[in-house]
């Protein structure tokens, strides 16, 4: 039995298939943990969803910002972006089944001693709180108020967490941190506009995982989302978005003992202009 972390797929079903062939993945034996952004920008989003659904419980998939955007687009709560490649899903005969499966994915999970999110966590949160807050969003995504929530999900405010936040403001901060975060200030104020390399941080900002006193510093966190960061592995963080859809690689990490994780990569088959 093997377990694999997989970075942002973003509709690149060909590279995903090649990667799984390369590692000898068997859904009857192994487990995939896909770190969000399953769809969009790449050419075969519908094939990615059907593949992962077919793997059943052997594919544990997180929701990323592009996955939430698909749900919002399907509900009529956002307009298509010129780079979107979601028509295959929206026009599919099994559209309802695909979208229902997607809305039932996790926002965060913990397995093999690793906390997994799509983008990041705020420095005020410990691992247990991350999972609790993710569960709050998951409950809304799976519930009867999905459309109303998606209509109010977008926005950069509030930019900072407070335990007293309620309603839409609370959920928006959780979603932004788990699916969009790259940089924040030392007090946890999020900068959701910057997307460059860590050495190009806005004044006063830093990568979320470098904030002093972060409560998850003793927990290894795996994430994707940040293609300009690329692969990063250190005791407390594993970054796995290596920009497949932008002409880079699709990456998987075979989990073993902490010093024995193995990186496996395949080249992308297409290149898009860089973007979020």
Give me the CATH number covering residue 78.
3.60.21.10
pLDDT in tens, 7-36: 999 999 999 999 999 999 999 999 999 999
Give the mean pLDDT of 154-166: 97
pLDDT in tens, 228-255: 999 999 999 999 999 999 999 999 999 9
In a 3-state reduction of DSSP, which class is residue 106?
Answer: strand
Residue partners of 114: CB distance under 8 A and separation at least 6: 5, 220, 221, 222, 238, 255
**113 within some domain:** yes
Centre a 10 Å sphere on the Cβ of residue 92 and count the other Cβ atoms it contains: 16
Q: Which domain holds residue 88?
A: 3-267
At residue 54, the pLDDT reads 98
- How much is the average pLDDT of 42-66? 97
pLDDT of residue 270: 58
What's the number of domains the chain is made of? Answer: 1
How far is 12 from 245, CA to CA, in rounded Å?
A: 7
In a domain, 276, yes or no: no
Task: Please report whether residue 122 resides in a domain.
Answer: yes
Supply the pLDDT for residue 64.
Answer: 98
Is residue 208 a part of any domain in this protein? Answer: yes
Cα angle 178, 231, 229; round to 5? 65
Q: Is the pTM of this model over 0.85?
A: yes
In a domain, 69, yes or no: yes
- Is position 71 within any domain? yes
Question: For residue 23, is it within any domain?
Answer: yes
Domain assignment present for residue 141? The answer is yes
How many Cβ atoms from other residues are within 10 Å of residue 138's Cβ? Answer: 18
């Amino acid at each position: 039995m093997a377990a694999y972390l997989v970075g942002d797929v973003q509709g690149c079903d060909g590279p995903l298939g090649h990667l799984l062939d390369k590692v000898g993945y068997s859904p009857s034996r192994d487990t995939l943990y896909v770190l969000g952004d399953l769809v969009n920008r790449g050419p075969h989003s519908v094939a990615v969803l059907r593949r992962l659904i077919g793997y059943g419980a052997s594919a544990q998939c997180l929701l990323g910002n592009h996955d939430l955007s698909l749900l919002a687009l399907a509900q009529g709560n956002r307009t298509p972006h010129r780079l979107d490649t979601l028509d295959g899903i929206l026009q599919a005969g099994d559209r309802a089944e695909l979208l229902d499966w997607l809305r039932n994915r996790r926002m965060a999970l913990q397995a093999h001693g690793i906390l997994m999110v799509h983008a990041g966590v705020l420095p005020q949160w410990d691992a247990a709180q991350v999972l609790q807050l993710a569960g709050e969003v998951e409950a809304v995504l799976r519930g009867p108020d999905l459309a109303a929530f998606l209509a109010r999900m977008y926005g950069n405010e509030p930019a900072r967490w407070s335990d007293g936040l309620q309603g839409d403001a609370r959920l928006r901060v959780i979603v932004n941190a788990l699916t969009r975060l790259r940089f924040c200030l030392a007090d946890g104020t999020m900068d959701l506009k910057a997307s460059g390399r860590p050495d190009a941080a806005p004044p006063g900002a830093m990568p979320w995982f470098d904030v002093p006193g972060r409560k998850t510093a003793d927990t290894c966190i795996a994430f994707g989302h940040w293609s300009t960061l690329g692969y990063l592995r250190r005791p407390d963080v594993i970054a796995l978005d290596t920009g497949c859809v932008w002409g880079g690689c699709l990456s998987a990490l075979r989990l073993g003992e902490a010093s024995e994780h193995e990186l496996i990569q395949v080249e992308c088959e297409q290149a898009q202009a860089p973007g979020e």
